[in-house]
Chain A
Amino acid sequence: MLNQEEMKKLDNILVSYDYNKTLIIAIMQEVQKEYRYLPKEALRYIAKKLNISEAKIYSVATFYENFSLEPKGKYVVKICNGTACHVRKSEPILTEFRNELGLSETKVTTDDMTFTVETVSCLGACGLAPVCTVNDKVYPSMTPDKAKDLIKQLKEEIANEN
């Protein structure tokens, strides 16, 4: 169940989009920014408020790659799998990230909810291939070694925060 505060947050998002049904994708993007995924309760709430069926909102949410119904880690690492990155050997980088964090194609988020590793279709930064992003920051000309260092650095960041 959503608490009062969460409902208020969702209401604010809905108001800023004028309760416009056609803007459902933008609304869900805002919600996802808030939670880093789309919680089922939030979808239900939005569907009710926009007067659309739960089936409809679910159908849209599951169609688009960017929406996730599962919680994601604090750092979302996306490895570009566009043609240019592929040609410049992005695959070993993906493998390195997965090995380094104990993740796989099916298990994408670490148990401590720190890291999510996924692939992304072309980011359009092909000139710097192969690239990856961490929470939308682009890292150019990656190598498996750089991937290892990056994870180390992010882990240090977390350790310093705690």
Chain B
Amino acid sequence: MKINTREELNAIRARYKASLDNQYKQILICAGTGCVAGGSLDIYKRLQEIIEERDLKLTLVLEEEPHDEMIGLKKSGCHGFCEMGPLLRIDPMGWLYIKVKVSDCEEIIEKSIIGDEVVDRLIYKDDKHSYSKQEEIPFYEKQTRVALEHCGNINAESIEEYLAMDGYIAATKALFDMTSEDIVNEISEAYLRGRGGGGFHTGTKWKQVLRQAETEKYIVCNGDEGDPGAFMDRSMMEGDPHRVIEGMIIAGIATKAHHGYIYVRAEYPLAVERLRIAIEQATEKGFLGDNILNSGFDFDLRISQGAGAFVCGEGSALTASIEGNRGMPRVKPPRTVEQGLFGKPTVLNNVETFCNVPPIINKGAEWYKTMGTDKNYGTKAFALTGNVNNTGLIEVPMGTTLRKVIFDIGGGIKDGKFKAVQIGGPSGGCLCLNEGHLDLTLDFDSLKKVGAMIGSGGLVVMNDKNCMVEMARFFMNFTQNESCGKCIPCREGTKRMLELLNDIVEGRGTLEHIELLEELSETISATALCGLGKSAAFPVISTLKYFRDEYIAHVVDKKCPAGVCKALMSYEIDKDKCKGCSKCARVCPVEAISGEIKKPYTIDKSKCIKCGACMDGCAFKAVQLV
């Protein structure tokens, strides 16, 4: 049913709130991509069955007319603690159950829903403690959630619940109590910087679009989170889609734009689905469409799906893609704020930026500035992945140290010692232990100083079993694959750099290779057309700066210190461990292994093709790479 006025909205909100309060127990099942892959939807189904079998009163959607006390069962967005999924939380107690299986459902209902008891075996435990409550777990305790405030705490497919949690209050305030200039000023005052990578001031961007004389303007949300190792935006679109929509509506009011597009990459089908549901609900309730809440303001919103091109994360490539063209960047100026989508003035912000808008409007710029450091206010979401114990989605105040993120929240390094952290995706850089980078604060400006960038917020932690040269090769391979081919520095330069790196990891490298890599890095960074090209060499530059000795070891000593680059390694059989079973000799495809039964076998290095079959086949771990 359409909500026609602000008064009607307030009345309905009060009813939904009462309805939510009537849920004496709520079960929130994480239905983000990660936990769904772990089987969380089956858990949801099973819980529903059990609750119905036992004749308990259950509600799956918030009702407008609150009546009896109910159990609320909901699919929420990502809780963040992906490593421990599937996750399930029981409110109002805040109990978090980890690695839940369908077979646990009966016990959960019995003990925690009918009874008031924690299922002890399902709670998170570390070396010292066990934690029944989510908020007490170190992973959560040290976070500050603003953009992810609702993510995991709300039914991601329900506008009713979003309203009960004070959703669309900011949009209403922007519609009725503020002028466009007021909104722009508030955002400028909060010094909100674009969370997509560049860190450009959102307020400035909006001001520029507002002052364009053109009447047709667009709001575009960049949900093309292509950086490998990043999934913050995906989680926000999946877990709190109305928040994204609300942020975009406010941007529309602020810049007098009436059309919006959300560009989502094709790899995120669940995000598309949740956004589609949310747009439908928002349109039905009258938050999207003509004359929103009888304010005279119109705003419509469409989803545009990408088709697998990393470069489309770049502004002008993204708008070209929405227009139905090859997603290739163009020369600027004119800039997107002047001539963006369909040649019209366009606000282009990423998902997380839009998610920060509603709380700033609600609570004001002053509140926002209490978090973070000077000119880097607020919070930043990070995707913590790689060789770290607690992978997942986190949000911390700007200026938090890497050490706190990796060791306090991330629970330290998995298998081995800390070596490096890759930040900002293929446009970012690697930071290492020796330079004191662990005590570096995570914000736009301090990362820039050490040749890295916050990027969209992917943090890939690497242990000492990772070869940094191989890592640089991996990123160059990615960038080279994704280069759109429009400008020569990027198209040809990345290809040549990849060849050089391939030579190095395959044992054909010389010191000249390193020199040439440096020269090419400089040229590409200076001459490429778009931001992606300009930053394509960053992973090489930063690894060369901080891990130069590893490059030297590869080209001079022909050794890979981390033991990753196979071409620089050779296989040997440990005489003490070999039982002489002959299995290695039998699996060797080139007959390089010989010996006598029950005596240690040997590998003929001149014949060995380093396929690794002997190592995989040996039951006694006698084959080693040295």
B453-480 residues with Cβ-Cβ distance < 8 A to A are: 458, 460, 462, 466, 474-475, 478
B307 near A66 (CB under 8 angstroms)? yes
Distance in Å from the Cβ of A20 to the closest Cβ of chain B? Answer: 8
From A26, A82, A138, B36 is in contact (CB under 8 Å) with A138
Choose, from A7-15, A100-108, A124-132, the stretch at the interface. A124-132
Distance in Å from the Cβ of B381 to the closest Cβ of chain A? Answer: 13
Whether B304 sits at the interface, judged by CB under 8 Å, is yes
Chain B's closest residue to A87 (CB) is B386
Chain B contact residues, CB within 8 Å of chain A = 33-34, 36-38, 82-83, 85, 225-231, 234, 266-269, 304-310, 321-328, 383, 385-387, 391-393, 422, 425, 458, 460, 462, 466, 474-475, 478, 482, 484
Q: List 8 A-B contacts (CB under 8 A).
A: A22-B322, A22-B324, A64-B306, A64-B308, A64-B327, A121-B478, A124-B268, A126-B82
CA distance A132 to B234 in the complex (A): 17
CA distance A65 to B484 in the complex (A): 11
Question: In the complex, what residues of B have CB within 8 A of residue A66's CB?
Answer: 266, 307-308
Given contacts A121-B482, A127-B392, whether A83 and B385 have CB atoms under 8 Å apart is yes
Given contacts A84-B229, A127-B391, whether A24 and B385 have CB atoms under 8 Å apart is no
A82 near B229 (CB under 8 angstroms)? yes
Whether A42 sits at the interface, judged by CB under 8 Å, is no
Question: In the complex, what residues of A have CB within 8 A of residue B310's CB?
Answer: 121
Chain B's closest residue to A127 (CB) is B82
Given contacts A23-B324, A24-B324, A83-B229, whether A129 and B391 have CB atoms under 8 Å apart is yes
From A26, A67, A83, A122, B267 is in contact (CB under 8 Å) with A122
Known: A67-B307, A140-B37. 20 other contacts (CB 8 A): A24-B324, A63-B309, A63-B326, A64-B327, A83-B460, A83-B474, A83-B475, A84-B460, A86-B474, A87-B387, A122-B231, A122-B267, A124-B268, A126-B383, A127-B391, A127-B392, A128-B38, A129-B391, A138-B33, A139-B37
CA distance A72 to B482 in the complex (A): 22
Question: In the complex, what residues of B have CB within 8 A of residue A83's CB?
Answer: 228-229, 385-386, 422, 425, 458, 460, 474-475
Chain A's closest residue to B310 (CB) is A121
Whether A88 sits at the interface, judged by CB under 8 Å, is yes
Interface string of A56-70 (1 = CB under 8 A from B): 000110011111000
CA distance A63 to B324 in the complex (A): 11
Whether A114 sits at the interface, judged by CB under 8 Å, is no
Distance in Å from the Cβ of B568 to the closest Cβ of chain A? Answer: 16
Question: In the complex, what residues of A have CB within 8 A of residue B478's CB?
Answer: 81, 121
Distance in Å from the Cβ of B587 to the closest Cβ of chain A? Answer: 13
Given contacts A26-B304, A65-B309, A67-B307, whether A122 and B82 have CB atoms under 8 Å apart is no
Chain A's closest residue to B81 (CB) is A127
Question: In the complex, what residues of B have CB within 8 A of residue A128's CB?
Answer: 34, 37-38, 82, 85
A127 near B83 (CB under 8 angstroms)? yes
Question: In the complex, what residues of B have CB within 8 A of residue A84's CB?
Answer: 228-229, 385-386, 391, 460
From A24, A67, A88, A126, B231 is in contact (CB under 8 Å) with A126
CA distance A132 to B260 in the complex (A): 33
Interface string of A112-155 (1 = CB under 8 A from B): 00000000111111111101000011111000000000000000
Question: In the complex, what residues of A have CB within 8 A of residue B305's CB?
Answer: 25-26, 29
Interface string of A3-38 (1 = CB under 8 A from B): 000000000000000000111111011000000000
Distance in Å from the Cβ of A116 to the closest Cβ of chain B? Answer: 15
B267 near A124 (CB under 8 angstroms)? yes
B324 near A25 (CB under 8 angstroms)? yes
Question: In the complex, what residues of A have CB within 8 A of residue B392's CB?
Answer: 127
From B38, B226, B321, A121 is in contact (CB under 8 Å) with B226
Given contacts A21-B324, A25-B324, A60-B324, whether A88 and B304 have CB atoms under 8 Å apart is no
Question: In the complex, what residues of A have CB within 8 A of residue B462's CB?
Answer: 87
Question: In the complex, what residues of A have CB within 8 A of residue B391's CB?
Answer: 84, 126-127, 129
Question: In the complex, what residues of A have CB within 8 A of residue B386's CB?
Answer: 83-84, 87-88, 129
Q: Which of B391, B475, B482 has the most CB of A within 10 A?
A: B391
B37 near A120 (CB under 8 angstroms)? no
Distance in Å from the Cβ of B206 to the closest Cβ of chain A? Answer: 25
B228 near A65 (CB under 8 angstroms)? no
Question: In the complex, what residues of B have CB within 8 A of residue A28's CB?
Answer: 307
Distance in Å from the Cβ of A56 to the closest Cβ of chain B? Answer: 9
Distance in Å from the Cβ of B607 to the closest Cβ of chain A? Answer: 21
Chain A's closest residue to B225 (CB) is A124
Distance in Å from the Cβ of B349 to the closest Cβ of chain A? Answer: 19
CA distance A29 to B272 in the complex (A): 14
From B38, B308, B309, B322, A140 is in contact (CB under 8 Å) with B38
CA distance A29 to B305 in the complex (A): 9
Distance in Å from the Cβ of A114 to the closest Cβ of chain B? Answer: 23
B85 near A127 (CB under 8 angstroms)? yes
CA distance A87 to B414 in the complex (A): 12
From A23, A25, A63, A131, B37 is in contact (CB under 8 Å) with A131
A37-95 residues with Cβ-Cβ distance < 8 A to B are: 59-60, 63-67, 81-84, 86-88
Distance in Å from the Cβ of A27 to the closest Cβ of chain B? Answer: 9
Question: In the complex, what residues of B have CB within 8 A of residue A139's CB?
Answer: 37
Question: In the complex, what residues of A have CB within 8 A of residue B231's CB?
Answer: 122, 124-127
Given contacts A87-B387, A139-B37, whether A82 and B228 have CB atoms under 8 Å apart is yes
Question: In the complex, what residues of A have CB within 8 A of residue B229's CB?
Answer: 82-84, 122, 126
Chain B's closest residue to A23 (CB) is B324
A125 near B387 (CB under 8 angstroms)? no
B482 near A59 (CB under 8 angstroms)? no
CA distance A44 to B326 in the complex (A): 18
Distance in Å from the Cβ of B91 to the closest Cβ of chain A? Answer: 23
Q: Which of A24, A65, A120, A126 has the most CB of B within 10 A?
A: A126
Distance in Å from the Cβ of B323 to the closest Cβ of chain A? Answer: 5
Question: In the complex, what residues of A have CB within 8 A of residue B234's CB?
Answer: 124
CA distance A138 to B322 in the complex (A): 27
Given contacts A83-B422, A83-B425, whether A29 and B385 have CB atoms under 8 Å apart is no
Distance in Å from the Cβ of B596 to the closest Cβ of chain A? Answer: 30
Given contacts A60-B325, A84-B228, whether A25 and B307 have CB atoms under 8 Å apart is yes
